[in-house]
Chains A and B, each alone.
Chain A
Amino acid sequence: MESNSASPPDSDAVVISETPFFRSEDCWAICLGWLVLLVGLGATWLNRPDNNAELRAEFEQFSSRLDAAQRNPQAEKQSVEKLRKQRDGLRAQLAINPTKPWLAKLGSWDDDPSRAFISKTGRNLLPGLIGVLVVGLVLFSIGLRGMGEPIGGFPLAFLVVFALAVLSYVLAGQNVIKHYNLEYALWALVVGLLISNTLGTPAMLRPAMRTELYIKTGLVLLGAEILFNRLLSLGVPGIFVSWVVTPIVLVTTYAFGQRILRIPSRSLNMVICADMSVCGVSAAIATAAACRAKKEELSLAIGLSLAFTVIMMVVMPPIIGALGLGQVLGGAWIGGTIDSTGAVAAAGGMLGETALAVAATVKMIQNILIGVVAFGVAVYWVTCVERSTAGQRPGWLEVWWRFPKFVLGFLAASLLFSAVASSGLEGQAMVSATIGGTSEVLRGWFFCLAFVSIGLETDFRQLRKYFVGGKPLILYVCGQALNLLLSFIMCWLMFEKVFPNAAAAIGQ
């Protein structure tokens, strides 16, 4: 992403950096991200239990019993659920990530913020928090050193920025805030904006305001969570709902923004379209990095997405109930349209257990699309949008130089983890343990650090110009209306007309 001061919103001209690749942010984001992933995966592999074969045999046994129970119409739902829990417990025992106790996200609280530092199981989260601080400090110091930048002022500045990220997580952990999907990205921005627009950003914080480095490293870690083996979870209907409608909405809305609304900034248009059509904040972050959107544009897109997500998660379930659409169709519609994954689950849960499972699965398949969208947007940007200073389309060599190479690290992480997860039961368990114990926790903190940095760098008054004429809002509303319509038609076709037995099988 670019700083706002670099160029006006309508400038697409690009000046190629002469920094060698091994000194670039992209190179170090890939190195740092992969270091985390390989350490997490390696530690989990080295820590695998001795009674592996027994656990696998027991898992197979439980799977057969579960299948038999589910085929039996007289089997009690509770006993099926108990069997499923026991089987999942066995899978979790197959891979235990030893780094998990040393890295933590903060918990939730009602009226006492100190509860944020204690997990639901009563575990003290402070050691995990210190672990994240140490890992972040060491990793990014290495990165800055590798990029040839001075790191003298970095540790103290990082400590302060990290403290602001902790404050953002605490604000986001309040239960009412959390359960209405007002996530930490928003509060990290607010905390940064409050400081920068009252006191002004202290110069001593600048060494740790590394938005791009945090975001790109976080995105490489996110790559490990994009598992292509989950793509067929819902079979053909899932692919049509998530992977056919979403790109159509994305491309159509982007074209609408360019040709009809004439939004001055292409990158703002693209980020809003991606976060509205794919999966909210995470898609916005990935796309913004791929098309080098300005920080203010990312902030604006996230603000829009969060506001509409809250409205949709409250409004859609009663509408679906009133229309009598049923849990499978209703759940799929929610999964295909509400931006944020958590809000999809919350809205699906309001309809029932089946709707919850379908909605979350449709959204999961859509989440996987992030990798393809980020790659596609990066290619489109360097080949079609950005011009050389002479206004010509770039040649292939120039395209390669301009290409945001962290995207390749992100895709490679996705392919490696997808391959490991596809290798069998043990591989699946190892990937889950690595993601849950290492990459997902650090990725969350890195994104939070990035949003605090964006807030600290943003002049609130500069956000105003993006609202002139209300074009971003019109773009979002029109795009979401198209998304709602096309998703509904596709869900209805898939689950009511073409594959009606799928709905029956899920509801069994």
Chain B
Amino acid sequence: MPLPPSASNRLRAWFRLLAAAAIVAAIWLGILPYIGSRPPIRAYIERNDSRGIDPSAKFYTELPGMPRFAAQIDDARRRDAAAFGMGKR
């Protein structure tokens, strides 16, 4: 674990942290909103939202649209189980 800096370096350490925070703020409050307002990116985001897609989901349970996607496949399998190798034709 990194150790806290000595007293003489403390000011420099705070400066580094504040500089990093300023860069993060500039990216998140300036650059990213600008990129997000560009028509192709806006359209991509809105298309995902309307379909229940959360691209940051780590697991299927985090996908808002998953029940609908699974239901679509379940319905197809129920209609024709043999097509999926799960019964006789």
Contacts and interface: CB of A to CB of B under 8 A. Distances in A.
A178 B61 contact: no
A400 to B, nearest CB: 30
B2 interface: yes
Nearest to A230: B70
Given A175-B36, A345-B63, A502-B84, A356 B56 contact: no
B53 A356 contact: yes
A71 B78 CA distance: 11
Contacts of B74: 233
B30 to A, nearest CB: 9
Contacts of B72: 84, 353, 357, 506
B59 A236 contact: no
Contacts of A234: 73, 77, 84
Range for the number of chain B residues in contact with chain A: 35 or more
Contacts of A307: none
A174 B55 contact: no
B60 A360 contact: yes
Interface in A430-483: 432, 435-436, 440, 444, 456-460
Contact of A113 (B28, B65, B82): B28
Contact of A199 (B14, B55, B62): B14
Given A235-B85, A505-B83, A225 B4 contact: no
Interface in B2-31: 2-5, 13-14, 16-17, 20-21, 24, 28-29
B88 interface: no
A183 B3 contact: no
B43 to A, nearest CB: 11
A184 B54 CA distance: 13
Contacts of A342: 53-58, 62-63
A140 B36 CA distance: 38
Contacts of A66: 75
Interface stretch (A15-23, A50-58, A189-197, A373-381): A189-197
Contacts of A60: none
B44 A179 contact: yes
Contacts of B62: 341-342, 440, 444
Nearest to A178: B56
B55 A356 contact: no
B86 A232 contact: yes
Contact of A180 (B2, B47, B55, B73): B55
Interface stretch (A95-103, A361-369, A383-391, A407-415): A361-369
Secondary structure of the B side of the interface? helix
B45 A363 contact: no
B64 to A, nearest CB: 9
Secondary structure of the A side of the interface? helix
A340 B67 CA distance: 18
Contacts of B53: 342, 345-346, 349, 356
A128 interface: no
Nearest to A206: B1
Contacts of A345: 53-55, 57, 63, 65, 69
Nearest to A367: B60
A49 interface: no
Contact of B63 (A5, A176, A360): A360
B79 A236 contact: no
Given A67-B75, A349-B48, A198 B20 contact: yes
A195 B16 CA distance: 10
Interface string A472-508: 0000000000000000000000000011011011101
A195 B76 contact: no
A177 interface: yes
A356 B5 CA distance: 51
Given A183-B56, A342-B55, A201 B61 contact: no
Given A198-B20, A200-B2, A363-B60, 20 more contacts: A67-B78, A171-B28, A179-B45, A184-B56, A198-B17, A200-B4, A201-B1, A279-B59, A282-B58, A341-B63, A342-B55, A342-B63, A356-B65, A364-B60, A364-B70, A435-B61, A440-B62, A456-B1, A459-B1, A502-B85
Interface of A: 5, 66-67, 70-71, 84-85, 87-88, 110-111, 113, 171-172, 174-185, 194-203, 222, 225, 230, 232-238, 279-282, 313, 340-343, 345-346, 349, 353, 356-358, 360-361, 363-364, 367, 432, 435-436, 440, 444, 456-460, 498-499, 501-502, 504-506, 508
6 contacts: A110-B33, A234-B77, A235-B84, A360-B70, A506-B76, A508-B79
